Every structure is written in structure tokens, then in C-alpha cells.
Structure 1
Amino acid sequence: TRSEYFVAGHPMAGSEQDGLDGADADLFVGATWVLTPTNATNQDAHALTRSLAIAVGAEVIEIEPERHDALVAVVSHVPQLAATTLMDVASEAGDGSAVLLRLAAGGFRDMTRIAASHPAIWPDICAANRDAIVDALDSYVEALGAVRGMVASGDRVALLELLTRARNSRRALPVSAAIEGPLAEIRTPIADRPGVLAEVTTLAGSLGVNILDLEIVHSIEGESGVLVLVVPSARAASLVDALISSGYRPVRSEL
């Protein structure tokens, strides 16, 4: 039957951009590509689909369809709805005021970035994965209710435990499934001026240090920020020393 040649799956890649604006020749390089074959899936079709994903540079993982729906609800669908809702709440609170934009620091911008994604696809996604999304939303709403209770009651201990647990979980997120070996995170304050990012990346390149992940955390004032680099732990010390010699103030931690 035709259905046995259908291999369900998709890449976990892309951005808030759509159409040609989001085009990228390396879009799938290092990205996770999920396949959800069943016992009825044709093995040749399965192998062909898997080889196609690998050919474009993706890392293939295979999970059961039901497990897939539950996981993507948590890591993709609910984050989209949370970002959309937070952006809407902030917009109403700001009432079109320019002050909102001035107060919107890097954390807010990072959290709401995906709210800028094309809205037309999301009603269909929510309809297709409705049950899993509702379950994930229920868990999220319950967790937010617990946080509200901590804040309202002034429970500093419980709030600190939550923040610490979340911080540790966030720092433990793998940079890429293709990367093996211990990693280190280097954080260094940087000035908001042209060329500063190029200085650091050029310095790393001259030392043969591969930057596996990079993030810039902006300050509220917009005049400075913190550059966050993830590098192989074995090469971190040389980059830290070079940054110090160049006038930066890096702090290293193991992931």
C-alpha cells in the first residue's frame, strides 16, 4: 500500500524567518532530524529517508510517534505559545509606549524571539497535536501557579531551589548531538562597539579553538553585554589566557 512508503519525520531546524528570508545552505547541518517509523513502514523507504537526512548534514534520531508528539509539545509548541502570550501581555502593558522597547533587555528579546515566526502555520500545528499540547500547557500552567505561590508568599528558599534547578538543567543542554567530549563555557563582558565579536572569534581561530556555540547577552542599557562561548574543555584555558592578555575579563566554567 502507499501508506507503507510514508515515513513520518521532520527536521528540528529553522528560525522565525519565513520564505527566502530564512534560506540557508547549511540549515540542516548539525540539526536533529526526527523520524517516527512504525512496524508498517517500508524498510527501503525508511532507509532512503534516513540517508537523505544524513546527506544534508542532519543527526537522525528515531522515536515512537506518541513519544514524539509529547516531546515536541514541550520543547517546540508550548514555547511558541508561551512566547506569543508573553509578547502579547508585554504589548498590552506597554500600551504602545517606547519605554517598553527601552526596558526590553536581552532576556526578554531571547524569550520572545519566536513570537515573530509566521503565525499561519501554528493553528494547524496546534490542531494536529492538540492533546499533547494541552497536556504540556496544563503542566506549564501548574508550574507557573507554583511560582506565583512562591513569589506571593515570599518563599525565597523554594524560589531559589527552582531557579538553581532550572539553571543547572539549562546549562546541561547539549550544544549538538554530534559533539563529543567535555565542554567549557567562557563568559566575558564586552563593549557594544563594532568589531568586538570579530576580535574574539579571530582570536579563537588563531589559537585553533573551535567555538561550538555563541550567545550575546545584552544589558538593559545597551552599552555593554556578556559574550558566552562554548568550547572544548581541553582548549578553554588557552582561550581564557589569550582573552585576559587582550584586556578581556573572562570567567570559565565546566559544562
Structure 2
Amino acid sequence: MDGRVFIIGLGLIGGSLALCIKKEHKDSFIIGYDVNKDQTRLARMLNVVDETTESIEQGAKNADLILIATPVKETEKVLQILECIQLKRNVIISDAGSTKKEIVQLAGNLKNKGITFIGGHPMAGSHKSGVTAAKAILFENAFYLLTPEEHILEEQLHQLQNWLSGTKARFIKITPEEHDYLTGVISHFPHIIAASLVHQAEKTSTKQKLIPSLAAGGFRDVTRIASSSPEMWRDILLHNKDVLLSLLDDWQEEMHKVAKMIAAANSAEIFNYFFYAKQFRDELPQKERGAIPSFYDLFVDVPDYPGVISEITGYLAKEEISITNIRILETREDINGILVISFQTEEDRTRADLCIHKHTNYETSEGL
């Protein structure tokens, strides 16, 4: 396909979408806009986009496809701006936000003008942000949820999917209401729980000074999604409040059930509670990409001596294997430490595992 594509928001998601479109539709011309001028400059410097613009109005007026890759609160403002612009009649507008019902409702004014809006949500991400982290492979095999209203023609939906075919994502069509419930259960709600666990630990640490030290291992891993952007999660919770309030009610009932089991010292019920949770969790697809970015961790048992980290990273750099994070889980004199290296893809983790075994005799294991 050829045509003009306008991408609003040149961060990780917007930049990656631009790269996917450029890869698949080489005759397309991609214009980018971001309120952050540094991101705009970097996007052009890295050839993520072909051209940048100083305003949404200027970039949108001749576009055949407009993709909004901004936080949901900013998407609201962008939609209001687009309503007031004389757009091409056959333009398709989509977003990439984490909530859909309110956004689709806000796009109603575009519908009244005969403009096609199809809500979208690529369910992939990274532990890095910004356009410098953008990759054309970011969405491969990820679910890409599309939430067209009933008036949207199949031809228009297929046209959008064609534009986005370079993502190599798995497109699923659902209603905006279904989207917000599903993402509420498997993404939004877990982020609330992770944040609440951190708050509980922080309060306890005022009385028990060992809490921060002991929380440095498994607890930190369990709650790592609590390190996500506070601004983003504020907006998501406000946009999806009805679903989340209902889920919080269900959670309180669940915790009340657990409290009763413990108070009654019901050994069989407690065992079954963990047994069936383990069973369901173990049966979840291991190779699928879901709503929360996967953590591809590699645990390396390394001797505790100066320079061991640079030794490992040197081997990985030599084979051009990118890492997203690295840390020591535990190091004490005369015993092995555990080096935790995080990667963006399972492929990178597998390559790193082979690389380390090729150059060293260190034991490795994957994160669960």
C-alpha cells in the first residue's frame, strides 16, 4: 500500500508501529508528531519517520491513516483536535491505548462527520521506553485487539489490518466493553495488586528494618510491574473504573475466603487453594504474548570476583545480544552470586544462554 501515514506519539509504541509500516509498505510516507521535541528529533534522526511536523493539524489534513499512540488522556485531547480538522473522507483513524470504551465514545463526533475510527490495542511492550527502544519486531505474535463499532465495514477493518500487517501480530476483533473487561482482569487489576503489595511492604518497613533487604529478591520480581508509569496507570484506572471497582469487590470476597480458611486452620482447603492456582497457572500458554510484557530473565550462577559482570556482558556484546536489565540477586564472599539478566525476547534469552555456555562453565536457568 502507498499513502501518507500520520503517527501521533513517537514513543516505543508509535515508533515501533512506524517501523512496521515502513518495512511492509515501502511506498508509504510516514509523518510523525510528538509533544516531546527530543522524541521528534530522535525519530527523524533514526529514520523511524520520513518527516516530522510541528502540529497535529498540519500532519493530519492529507493523511490516509492516522495512528494515535499517546497515553489515554492525551488521546482524548487528540480526538478533539481531529474533530475540528478537514480530513480526507477515506482516512482511517486508530489508537493504541489500553482502554477502549470511553475512547470509542469520544470518537463519536468523528463518526458523525463520516470519518472512520477503529479502536486498537497492540498488547505488547517493553521495559524500555521512548523512540530509541522502538523495534519492528515488537508486536510479532502478540495479540492486537481491534474494537470496531457496528457501522464499520469489513472492508475498512481489513484496510486497517493491511496497513498494520507488518506488525506480524494476531488480530482479534472484540467490542470496546469486552476489551476493557478482559484487559481489566489480566492487566489493569494485577498492576493494582502489585502496587498494593509494595505499599504494604513499605508501611511494614517502618517497624521492621529488614523488610527492604529481604524484599530485594523474589518479592521485587513479583511486584516489578509496580514500577510502571504512574501517569499512565492513573489514566487507565480512571478510564476503566467501573470494571476495576467490580474486580476489587470480587477480590475482597476472595481474600475474605482465604482469611476464613486460615482462621479455621483448614489444611485441606488451604492445600487445594494453592494446588488449583498452581494447576491453572502451569497450564497457561508459555509461548504466547499477553497483556503484560513478558520478562525474559536468565539466572547465571557466577563466582564473586571483580569484573565478572563485564566478562558476561562482553561475551553478549560480542555476539550482538541486547539486554534490557542486569542486576546481582545475591553476592557474598566465597559463594556464587546470581546474576539476573533480562532480555526483550525469548530468542535473545536463548541466544544468550548458548553464548554463556560457549564461553564459560557457569550454570544458568530461566526465570519462571
Deviation at 1:226, TM superposition (A): 10
SS of the residue corresponding to residue 7 of structure 1 reads strand
In the alignment, is the contact (CA less than 8 A) between 2:145 and 2:172 conserved in 1?
yes
**2:160: which partner in 1?**
49
Of the three residues 131, 134, 140, the one matched with 1:24 is 134
Q: CA deviation at 1:156?
A: 1.9
Structure 1 residue 76, shift from structure 2 partner: 0.9
TM-superposition CA deviations, 1:9-47 (whole Å, max 9, x none): 2111224554357x2313222222111222211333311
Counterpart amino acid of 1:34?
Answer: L
Amino acid at match of 1:87: V
Alignment partner, residue 231 of structure 2: 120
Matched letter for residue 24 of structure 1: A
Structure 2 residue corresponding to 1:161, chosen from 256, 260, 272? 272
1:146 to 239, 254, 257: 257
| Inter-partner Cα distance in structure 2 for 1:147 and 1:196 | 47
State the one-letter code of the partner of 1:79.
P
Q: Deviations over 1:154-195 (max 9, x none)?
A: 2221111111111111111113448xxxxxxxx999457759
- For residue 116 of structure 1, report the CA deviation from its aligned partner: 1.0
Moved more, 149-158 or 9-18: 9-18
1:130 is matched with which residue?
Answer: 241
TM normalised by structure 1 equals 0.67
Determine which structure has greater relative contact order: mean sequence separation of CA pairs < 8 Å that are 6+ residues apart, divided by chain length: 1
Equivalent-residue separation in structure 2 for 1:80 and 1:103 (angstroms): 22
Residues 300 and 362, structure 2, Cα contact 8 Å, conserved in 1 = no
CA distance in 2 between counterparts of 1:135 and 1:220 reads 44
Contact 2:120 2:147 in 1 (8 A): yes
Q: In structure 1, what is the Cα distance between the partners aligned to 2:226 and 2:216? A: 16
Question: Secondary structure at the residue paired with 1:174?
Answer: coil
Q: 1:156 to 1:38 in 2, by over 3 A?
A: same
Report the aligned-residue RMSD.
Answer: 4.3
Q: Which amino acid aligns with 1:32?
A: F
Q: Which residue matches 1:82? A: 193
- Measure, in 2, the Cα distance between the counterparts of 1:20 and 1:153: 54
What are the within-5 Å matches in structure 2 for residues 95-114 of structure 1?
95=206, 99-114=210-225
C-alpha displacement at 1:248, in angstroms? 6.0
Report the more deviating stretch, 71-80 or 100-109. Answer: 100-109
Q: TM-score, normalised by structure 2?
A: 0.49
Query: Structure 1: which amino acid aligns with 2:138?
Result: L
Give the whole-Å Cα distance in 1 for the aligned partners of 2:144 and 2:168. Answer: 10
CA distance in 2, matches of 1:136, 1:123: 17
User: In the alignment, is the contact (CA less than 8 A) between 1:84 and 1:112 conserved in 2?
Assistant: yes
Change (3 A) 1:125 1:249: closer
Please tell me the residue identity of whatever aligns with 1:115. A
- Distance in 2 (CA, whole Å) between partners of 1:69 and 1:127 is 12
Q: Is it true that 1:11 corresponds to 2:11 in the alignment?
A: no
Q: Which residue pairs with 1:73 in the alignment?
A: 184
Amino acid across the alignment from 1:134: L
Q: CA deviation at 1:97?
A: 7.2
Cα 1:88–1:39 shift into 2, 3 Å:
same
Deviation string for 1:132-174 (max 9, x for gaps)?
1111111122112211222222222111111111111111111
Question: Post-superposition shift, 1:113?
Answer: 0.9
CA drift of 1:75 comes to: 0.6
**Partner-residue secondary structure (3-state), 1:6:** strand
Q: In 1, distance between residues paired with 2:128 and 2:203? A: 24
User: Mind listing any 5+ residue stretches in structure 2 that lack a counterpart?
Assistant: 1-108, 290-297, 317-326, 347-353
For residues 147 and 225 of structure 1, the distance between their equivalents in structure 2, rounded to whole angstroms, comes to 35
Are the structure 2 counterparts of residues 196 and 167 from structure 1 closer, same or farther at C-alpha, using a change threshold of 3 Å?
farther
% of aligned pairs identical?
Answer: 30
Aligned residues: 224
> Matched residues in 1 for 2:197 and 2:159: separation?
41
Amino acid at match of 1:127: L
Higher Rg of the two aligned structures? 2
Asked if the contact 1:38/1:64 (under 8 Å) is kept, the reply is yes
Q: Distance in 2 between matches of 1:150 and 1:64?
A: 38
Whose helix fraction is larger, Structure 1's or Structure 2's?
Answer: 1
Gap change, CA 1:17 and 1:139, over 3 Å in 2:
farther
Aligned letter for 2:174? I
In structure 2, distance between residues paired with 1:7 and 1:249: 45
Q: How many Å separate the matches in 1 of 2:247 and 2:312?
A: 38
